[in-house]
């Protein structure tokens, strides 16, 4: 047997993972973003590859190194991320960890916005981005197991339960992202999550993101048996 062969439970499975923030252009030099670091999603990609999966990691703009054995597709915007997910199908599992920007500027400027000298401030008209997770759940090529994440600052489990139903995912993994910038799950190295599914809630206590990733990927492998 190969070393580690006993734990290669995802051999032959294709796992698509989104990670990181998206950037939504305001003009050629400015964008709307969020504090997602991509660390949790990259750690899940690494853990899945270690368990033998073929992994497609669709990464928003982050500087993290590509985990060994992972196929990485870099994107900037939510709409590019949605297209990349479609191009990655078919898949056995999708894990949508990305903190997708909910809104983009309706009509991004093609030239840099300039102060006009009168103190007039340019308005930014926002429109909603496509919901990549909900779209995938409704897709005829829906992977067998679709896992979403939920970033919440209050009422974490109830909000995750309503997202589970609204989006049609199999699991929603909720994390509490309250806490001051610099002292938060978003951008930090540790996480505590609640795995919410139709059969209940399993809570994984605070641990380094790679340990949370391994625990999640083990549960994914078990769910496919």
Annotated binding site for CTP: 102, 112, 130-133, 149, 163, 167
Distance between CA atoms of residues 225 and 51, nearest Å: 14
78 binds ligand CTP (CB under 6 A): yes
**DSSP three-state, residue 105:** strand
Among 102, 139, 202, 218, interactor with Ca ion by CB under 5 A: 102
Among 31, 42, 149, 171, interactor with ligand CTP by CB under 6 A: 149
134 binds Ca ion (CB under 5 A): no
- Least distance CB 163 / Ca ion (angstroms): 9
Q: Which stretch binds ligand CTP (CB under 6 A): 5-13, 42-50, 96-104, 190-198?
A: 96-104
- Least distance CB 99 / Ca ion (angstroms): 7
35 binds Ca ion (CB under 5 A): no
Q: Give the residue at shortest CB distance from Ca ion.
A: 102
Known binding residues are 102, 112, 130-133, 149, 163, 167
Distance between CA atoms of residues 171 and 197, nearest Å: 5
139 binds Ca ion (CB under 5 A): no
216 binds ligand CTP (CB under 6 A): no
Please identify which residue in the block is written with the tokens 């597709």. Answer: 73
- Concatenating the DSSP letter of every residue in 171-206 gives EEEEEE--S-TTSSTTTSSEEEEEEEETTEEEEEEE
194 binds ligand CTP (CB under 6 A): no
Are β-strands 171-176 and 190-197 bridged in parallel, bridged antiparallel, or unpaired? Answer: antiparallel
Q: Is 34 a catalytic residue?
A: yes
Reported in sequence order, the residue ranges of the chain that DSSP labels E, i.e. its strands, are: 14-19, 24-27, 30-32, 54-59, 70-74, 93-96, 103-105, 126-128, 145-152, 171-176, 190-197, 200-208
Instruction: State the catalytic residue, choosing from 34, 129, 175, 191.
Output: 34
Q: Check residue 63 and report its DSSP letter.
A: -
Tally of CB atoms within 10 A around 207: 15
- Least distance CB 167 / Ca ion (angstroms): 11
Q: Which residues does the annotation mark as catalytic?
A: 34
Residues at the interface with ligand CTP (CB under 6 A) = 18, 78, 96, 98, 100, 102, 129-133, 148-151, 163
């Amino acid at each position: 047997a190969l070393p580690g062969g006993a734990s290669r439970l995802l051999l032959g499975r294709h796992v698509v993972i989104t990670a990181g923030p998206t950037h939504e252009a305001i003009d050629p030099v400015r964008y709307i973003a969020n504090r997602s670091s991509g660390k949790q999603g990259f750690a899940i990609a690494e853990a899945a590859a270690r368990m033998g999966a073929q992994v497609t990691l669709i990464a928003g703009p982050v500087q993290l190194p590509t985990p060994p054995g992972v196929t990485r597709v870099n994107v900037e915007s939510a709409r590019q991320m949605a297209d990349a997910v479609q191009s990655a199908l078919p898949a056995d599992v999708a894990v949508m960890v990305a903190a997708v920007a909910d809104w983009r500027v309706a009509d991004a400027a093609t030239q840099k916005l300039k102060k006009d000298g009168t103190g007039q401030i340019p308005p930014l008209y926002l429109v909603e981005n496509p919901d990549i997770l909900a779209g995938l759940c409704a897709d005829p090529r829906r992977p067998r197991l679709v896992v979403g994440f939920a970033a919440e600052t209050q009422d974490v489990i109830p909000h995750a339960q309503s997202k589970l139903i609204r989006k049609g995912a199999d699991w929603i993994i909720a994390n509490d992202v309250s806490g001051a910038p610099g002292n938060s799950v978003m951008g930090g190295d540790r996480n505590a999550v609640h795995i919410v599914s139709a059969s209940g809630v399993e809570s994984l206590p605070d641990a380094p993101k790679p340990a949370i990733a391994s625990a999640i990927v083990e549960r994914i492998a078990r769910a496919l048996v």
